Structure 1
Amino acid sequence: MRRLLFISLCLLSLSTQAQSLLWRISGNGLAKPSYLFGTYHILRDSYLKGDSLTRAHFEQAEGVVVEMVFDTTERAKVIQFSTMPDNNLIRLINANDYKLVADEFNAVTGQELSFYNQIKPVIIATALSTAYARRESDTLTRFTGQPIDLFFVRQTQAAKKPLLGLETLEEQLKLLYDRQPVEQQANQLVQMVKHHNETTTRKGPGLTDMYLKANLDGMWDLFQRESDSPADLYKLVDDRNVRWMSQLRTIMAVRSTFIAVGAGHLPGPNGLLKLLREAGYTVEAIRNKEAEPDLARVK
């Protein structure tokens, strides 16, 4: 079940990493340091009330880089990539499995699956996974506001600072919604629902708790257990990191930059932390004593 949630999170890690979500990048000719922060795409921005260093480095940066900057004029592309005009979920799975998924979708999200029959199965699965995460983590539901990635974008735009996206909307939509045939997406959706109870009864902390503790090793271990396709990991993480690095080197040479990308892009054999070090930069973890938020303050 969690594998489809990991599509938006992209968690890939290298063992024995320092446990931090915020990293200082210096050296290799940089006039000023830049900062790399691993986000959690379903996290709300009140999280930053308990992470004063991340907030401070974001506000002090001369420019900001995110994975993608959404332009409202591109809404038609979202519809194009997210829908199945010539297909629907009822055709893709048998009647018994459809009822199973529909009942679960209604119970978890409070919505009728029939309204979304022409939406690609991977989007339905992601919505379910997000609902599971919020229901299963009391900590996550305490955060309020807008999604943290969107917060970084809007605050940067309001401050009229340089804002750059590492990918276009079309690149992200192709990766997330067209990487697999809809038949395969439908099968994964059914399997996610069928095995949900099995995955949620496993012992140990969940993904949200590991993120909030900056437990990169734990997230990697969990992801390894849930992922079964090295080729998929390459498309989601490694290939993108290599492409992003060529852009980041030029951007950081121009100005001190706050870089906010999914946490899974930081560690790993081809993660940004390793790629930055291999390129000659000094990459240091910033440990914030307030980074594990006082939940009484973020309600």
Structure 2
Amino acid sequence: MKTLSFLFLFVSTAAFPQSLLWKVSGNGLKKPSYLFGTYHILKDSYLNQNPKIKSAYEGAEGVVVETEIDSSAMLSMAMRGLMLDKSLDKLLSASDYKLVADEFKKGTGYDLGLFNQMKPIVTATMLSLAYVQKQSDTLSSFTGLPLDLYFASDGRKRQKTVNALETMEEQMTFLFDHDPVEKQAQQLVEMVKEKDDMHDMSKSVTELYLKQDLQGMWKMNEKTGNSFGNMTYLLDERNLNWMKRLPGLMASRPTFVAVGALHLPGPKGLIELLKKEGYTVEPL
């Protein structure tokens, strides 16, 4: 379940505004910046029906995204995803391995044996993506580039200053190396056994995002996080790291910050962390 939340890799109150776009001002900023919560697999034609988001992005002089693809680091990242001295069929019982293999084949079309020496979190992420894509016809109606990639590539075309909050290596370290592979393997089995809940969540997260319902996404994350293990390192720890960079980036120029939607809400979300630093953060 943590891998699905990673797609959004997303203080809840009854009156929490329904908005994915927030204006950041004050605390010495000469011009406001904007904070936008993305859905990593949503395509950029989504912006055509959201003129406020598009206007905030186009008016900004800088763009900040979570990370950018570094072709020179691709081999290193691929190696980081490998288990050189272990394999999934040895980490799981024969019955659990067959359970996962059958579901993986059904969901992705691939034989699990091809990924036997990949860390289980990689397999879980692939399966999570398959669930999301198959459960929501709405996603297929959007075209173009994934939102995060669009902001980075189009930003450069528009001669905006583009910065990343973390390197590919830092991001993959959070995903691949935080938990031992034994724990990852058991979480993979748990995810498959709870696949009906996964299917329901896959549909719900898309619906909540398109409603711009941050409160709903946060509540779902709290519920699933408690059921499927602690995933605070994917959100809270990275938010704290990002706050070491964001103030300086926003002070240098009006900036459009695009990060996964689940990084915005919650007591350790970017909205609250920015407010604690003295910024005024308002929904648009």
- Tell me the TM-score range normalised by the shorter chain: over 0.9
RMSD: 2.0
Query: In 2, distance between residues paired with 1:121 and 1:33?
Result: 42
Aligned length: 283
Alignment correspondent of 2:206: 208
1:227 counterpart SS class: helix
Counterpart amino acid of 1:6? S
- Structure 1 stretch displaced more, 40-49 or 234-243: 234-243
Alignment correspondent of 2:225: 227
Unaligned runs of 5+ in 1: 287-299
Counterpart amino acid of 1:169? M
Counterpart amino acid of 1:156? G
CA contact (8 A) 1:10 1:265 kept: no
CA contact (8 A) 1:66 1:260 kept: yes
Alignment correspondent of 1:50: 49
Alignment correspondent of 2:187: 188
Query: In 1, distance between residues paired with 2:90 and 2:98?
Result: 13
1:267-294 alpha-carbon deviations (Å, 9 max, x no partner): 11011111111222111111xxxxxxxx
1:91-134 alpha-carbon deviations (Å, 9 max, x no partner): 11122221211111111112221111111111111111111111
Shift of 1:231: 8.9
Query: In 2, distance between residues paired with 1:135 and 1:108?
Result: 9
Query: In 2, distance between residues paired with 1:191 and 1:243?
Result: 30
Alignment correspondent of 2:151: 152
CA contact (8 A) 1:9 1:263 kept: yes
1:24 counterpart SS class: strand
TM-score in terms of structure 2 length: 0.93
Shift of 1:37: 0.3
Counterpart amino acid of 1:278? K
CA contact (8 A) 2:9 2:40 kept: no
Q: How does 1:123-134 map to 2 (within 5 A)?
A: 123-134=122-133
Query: In 1, distance between residues paired with 2:7 and 2:176?
Result: 11
Alignment correspondent of 2:177: 178
Counterpart amino acid of 2:74? R
Query: In 2, distance between residues paired with 1:45 and 1:82?
Result: 28
CA contact (8 A) 1:273 1:283 kept: yes
The percent of aligned pairs where both chains have the same amino acid is 47
Query: In 2, distance between residues paired with 1:109 and 1:155?
Result: 31
1:65 counterpart SS class: strand
TM-score in terms of structure 1 length: 0.89
1:128 counterpart SS class: helix
Distance 1:230 1:238, change over 3 A: farther
CA contact (8 A) 2:131 2:199 kept: no
Unaligned runs of 5+ in 2: none
Shift of 1:232: 3.8
CA contact (8 A) 1:10 1:237 kept: no
Distance 1:120 1:233, change over 3 A: closer
Query: In 2, distance between residues paired with 1:229 and 1:269?
Result: 20
